[in-house]
Structure 1
Amino acid sequence: MSHATSRRGLLFGGAAVGATALLAACTSNEPAEAKEEKTDAAPAAEESGKHVTIGFAGPQADHGWLNAINVQADERAKKYSDITFEKTEGSNDTATQIGQIDTLINKKVDVLVILPADGKALTQAGLKAMRAGIPVVNLDRIFDTPQAYRCWVGGDNYGMGLNAGHWIGEQLKDKKNAKVIELAGTDSLELTRQRTKGFDDALKNYPNIRKVARQAAEFTVESGQAKMAQLLQAQKSFDACWNHDDDQGVGALQAIEQAGRDGFILVGGAGARSAMDHIKADDGVLKATVLYPPTMAASAIDLARALGQGKGISGLSETEIPTQLSLYSAVVDKDNIDQYLSSGFK
Structure 2
Amino acid sequence: MPEHPVPSRRGLLLGTAAVSTALLTGCTSNEPSGKKDRSENPDDRNAPAADTPGKAVTIGFAGPQADHGWLNAINDNARSRAKKYPDVTLEITEGSNDTAAQIGQIQTLINKKVDVLVVLPADGKALTRTGLEAMRAGIPVVNLDRIFDSPQAYRCWIGGDNYGMGLNAGRYIGEQLKDKPRAKVIELAGLDSLELTRQRTQGFDDALKNYPNITKVARQAAEFTVESGQARMAQLLQAEADFDALWNHDDDQGVGALRAIAQDGRKDFLMVGGAGARSAMDAIKADNSVLKATVLYPPTMAASAIDIARAVAQGKGIGGLSELEIPASITLYSAVVTKDNVDQYLPTGFN
In 1, Cα distance between equivalents of 2:6 and 2:230: 32
Secondary structure (helix, strand or coil) at the match of 1:130 reads: helix
User: Which amino acid in 1 is paired with 2:62?
Assistant: A
Which 10-residue stretch deviates more, 200-209 or 90-99?
Answer: 90-99
**Structure 2 matches for 1:165-184, cutoff 5 A?**
165-184=170-189
Deviation, 1:157, is 1.1
Unaligned runs of 5+ residues in structure 1 are none
2:323 pairs, out of 295, 303, 318, with 318
Residue 27 in structure 1 maps to residue 22 in structure 2: no
The aligned residue for residue 215 of structure 1 is: 220
Residue 164 in structure 1 maps to residue 207 in structure 2: no
Deviation, 1:182, is 0.9
Residue 11 in structure 1 maps to residue 13 in structure 2: yes
2:121 pairs, out of 113, 116, 123, with 116
The aligned residue for residue 73 of structure 2 is: 68
Secondary structure (helix, strand or coil) at the match of 1:325 reads: strand
User: Which amino acid in 2 is paired with 1:264?
Assistant: F
Deviation, 1:317, is 4.7
Residue 187 in structure 1 maps to residue 192 in structure 2: yes
In 1, Cα distance between equivalents of 2:343 and 2:110: 43
**Structure 2 matches for 1:1-346, cutoff 5 A?**
3-7=6-10, 9-15=11-17, 17-34=18-35, 36-37=37-38, 39=41, 40=44, 41-44=47-50, 47-346=52-351
The question of whether the paired residues in 2 share the 8 Å contact of 1:25 and 1:32 is answered with: no
Deviation, 1:231, is 1.5
Write out per-residue CA displacement over residues 305-333 of structure 1, whole angstroms, 9 at most, x where no aligned residue.
01111111122153210011111111111
In 2, Cα distance between equivalents of 1:56 and 1:35: 33
In 1, Cα distance between equivalents of 2:265 and 2:53: 57
Deviation, 1:251, is 0.8
The question of whether the paired residues in 2 share the 8 Å contact of 1:32 and 1:314 is answered with: no
Write out per-residue CA displacement over residues 202-231 of structure 1, whole angstroms, 9 at most, x where no aligned residue.
011011111122122121111111221221
Write out per-residue CA displacement over residues 166-205 of structure 1, whole angstroms, 9 at most, x where no aligned residue.
0001111112221111111122222221111110100110
Deviation, 1:260, is 2.3
In 2, Cα distance between equivalents of 1:335 and 1:212: 29
The question of whether the paired residues in 2 share the 8 Å contact of 1:6 and 1:324 is answered with: no
In 2, Cα distance between equivalents of 1:285 and 1:243: 12
Deviation, 1:61, is 2.1
In 2, Cα distance between equivalents of 1:317 and 1:151: 17
TM-score in terms of structure 1 length: 0.94
The question of whether the paired residues in 2 share the 8 Å contact of 1:25 and 1:35 is answered with: no
The question of whether the paired residues in 2 share the 8 Å contact of 1:291 and 1:329 is answered with: yes
Unaligned runs of 5+ residues in structure 2 are none
CA RMSD, aligned part only?
Answer: 1.8
Secondary structure (helix, strand or coil) at the match of 2:26 reads: helix
How many residue pairs get aligned? The number is 343
In 1, Cα distance between equivalents of 2:322 and 2:118: 20
User: Which amino acid in 2 is paired with 1:22?
Assistant: L
Secondary structure (helix, strand or coil) at the match of 1:170 reads: helix
Write out per-residue CA displacement over residues 235-257 of structure 1, whole angstroms, 9 at most, x where no aligned residue.
22211110111011001111112
Deviation, 1:35, is 6.8
